[in-house]
């Protein structure tokens, strides 16, 4: 288990910061509730972001909503997406606090009503809430059967890769994979066996590519592999051949007699002039051309 991190207090008024810091320090190192070690105080958003970059082991952020920078919450969230953020409001500021929660904060606190115990409970609940939110997002973006990213996450990562290519002049590739041979699954065990084969295929495809690449399940018998940075067409085609070879490996004993293969289409990109969704749709529409010369091939789309 990782050691507890520090609490970052972003408060532009020194007297308010002193009161909150005193409440926090009285709870420092507590074994129950919300464990943390140390309190860091900054008066500006810029200083807070610099601290988060220099010392990423932050356990929670208490953020003054009255900072001059109106984008403080979104900036903190972007720098520390895995850290719970609680915003601080004055009496009568519940409306601002609720808007902050809708914008990504885990909770809001009225600073003049705080005591040590209440502050610790709020931090504890905020941490739990963030974990639940992360789990829900994980389930929404990943297929529960294969464990692979879904279409939405693939498109997000494809968009990032296309923008990077625009900036640095590099190129990337998207490989669409249509599995063949699934009709040979025994009908009596169709559903369970089908899911098992998809998991096997996903594991094999993931074993071929780099950690920086993305293997996604698009539904039915379709997968995709995103190569956010490749050295050229030959590399993309070579990876496609390796993916095919991995799928042709003998199946486990539970699926003896079944042969798995695929047809793979490769589309390359060098910039973000086309939207990720448009690129994926265009590649999908061109996939029937891959099988015209026979299945089990890699073709440029």
Whether pLDDT at 68 is above 50: yes
Report the distance separating Cα 255 and Cα 264, nearest Å: 23
Please give the order of strands across the beta sheet that includes 222-230.
Answer: 214-219, 222-230, 171-180, 261-269, 298-300
Averaged pLDDT for residues 282-287:
92
The closest of 53, 45, 120 to 84, measured between CA atoms, is 120
Predicted local distance difference test score (pLDDT) of residue 183? 60
Please state which of the four CATH numbers 3.40.50.2300, 3.40.50.300, 3.30.530.20, 3.40.190.10 is assigned to the domain occupying 6-141: 3.40.50.2300
- pLDDT-based confidence at 234, cuts 50/70/90? very high
Q: What is the pLDDT of residue 29?
A: 58
Domain boundaries, the chain: 6-141, 151-300
User: Mean pLDDT throughout 6-23?
Assistant: 91
E strands, the chain, in order: 6-10, 39-42, 58-64, 85-89, 107-110, 171-180, 214-219, 222-230, 261-269, 298-300
Q: Kindly report which listed range (39-48, 109-118, 155-164, 234-243) carries the lowest average pLDDT score.
A: 109-118
Distance, in Å, from the CA atom of 61 to the CA atom of 279, rounded to the nearest integer, reads 39
Answer whether residue 141 shows pLDDT above 60. Answer: yes
The domain 151-300: what is its CATH number?
Answer: 3.30.70.270
Cα–Cα distances (Å) from 31 to 65, 120, 223, in that order, read 30, 11, 46
Distance, CA of 202 to CA of 189 (rounded, Å): 20
Q: Taking phi first (over 0 means left), then psi (-120 to 50 degrees means alpha), and beta for anything else, what does residue 120 get?
A: alpha
- Contacts of residue 174, Cβ cutoff 8 Å, sequence gap at least 6: 158, 224, 225, 226, 227, 266, 267, 268, 269, 279, 280, 283
Q: What percent of the chain shows pLDDT beyond 70?
A: 90
Per-residue pLDDT tens digits for 173-186: 999 999 986 665 55
pLDDT at 238: 95
Q: Within 10 A of 234 (CB to CB), how many other CB atoms are there?
A: 9
Residues in the chain: 301
In 3D, which of 53, 56, 52, 58 has the Cα closest to residue 38?
58
Residues ≥6 apart with Cβ < 8 Å to 178: 221, 222, 262, 263, 264, 287, 290, 291
Residue 71 pLDDT greater than 60, yes or no: yes
Tell me the C-alpha distance between 103 and 101, whole Å.
5
What integer pLDDT is reported at residue 188 of this predicted model?
Answer: 43
- What is each CA distance from 129 to 94, 101, 107, 120, in whole angstroms? 19, 12, 9, 14
Whether residue 73 is predicted with pLDDT greater than 70 in this model: the reply is yes
Are 142 and 49 contacting, i.e. CB atoms less than 8 angstroms apart? no
Which of 89-93, 103-107, 121-125, 171-175 ranks highest by mean pLDDT?
171-175
What are 268's strand-pairing partners?
173
Q: Mean pLDDT over all residues of the chain? A: 87
pLDDT at site 295: 76
pLDDT bracket for residue 217 (50, 70, 90): very high
The answer to whether 301 and 287 are in contact (CB under 8 A) is yes
Least confident of 23-27, 58-62, 125-129, 245-249: 23-27
Which of 24-28, 186-190, 201-205 is predicted with the least confidence, judged by mean pLDDT? 186-190
**Per-residue pLDDT tens digits for 77-91:** 888 888 999 999 988
Does the fold of domain 151-300 match that of domain 6-141? no
Task: Tell me the percentage of the chain whose pLDDT exceeds 90.
Answer: 47
């Amino acid at each position: 288990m990782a050691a507890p991190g520090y609490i970052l207090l972003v408060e532009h008024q020194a007297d308010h910061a002193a009161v909150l810091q005193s409440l926090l320090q009285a709870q420092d190192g507590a074994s129950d509730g919300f464990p943390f070690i140390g309190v860091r105080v900054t008066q500006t958003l810029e200083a807070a972001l610099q601290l988060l970059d220099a010392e990423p082991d932050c356990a929670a952020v208490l953020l003054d909503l009255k900072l001059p920078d109106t984008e403080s919450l979104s900036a903190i969230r972007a720098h520390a997406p895995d850290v719970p953020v609680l915003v601080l409001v004055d009496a009568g500021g519940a409306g601002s606090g609720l808007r902050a929660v809708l914008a990504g904060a885990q909770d809001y606190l009225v600073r003049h009503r705080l005591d040590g115990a209440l502050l610790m409970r709020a931090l504890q609940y905020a941490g739990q809430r963030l974990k639940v939110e992360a789990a829900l997002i994980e389930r929404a973006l990943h297929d529960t059967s294969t464990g692979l990213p879904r279409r939405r996450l693939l498109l997000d990562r494809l968009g990032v890769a296309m923008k990077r290519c625009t900036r640095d002049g590099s190129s990337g590739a998207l490989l669409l994979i249509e599995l063949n041979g699934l009709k040979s699954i025994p009908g009596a065990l169709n559903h369970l066996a089908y899911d098992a084969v998809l998991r096997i295929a996903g594991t094999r495809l993931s074993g071929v590519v780099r950690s920086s690449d993305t293997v996604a399940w698009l539904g039915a018998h379709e997968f995709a592999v995103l190569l956010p940075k490749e050295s050229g067409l030959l590399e993309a085609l070579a990876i496609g051949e390796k993916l095919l070879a991995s799928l042709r490996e003998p199946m486990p004993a539970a699926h003896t007699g079944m042969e798995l293969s695929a047809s793979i289409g490769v589309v390359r990109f060098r910039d973000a002039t086309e939207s990720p969704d448009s690129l994926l749709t265009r590649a999908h529409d061109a996939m029937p051309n891959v099988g015209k010369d026979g299945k089990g091939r890699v073709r440029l789309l």
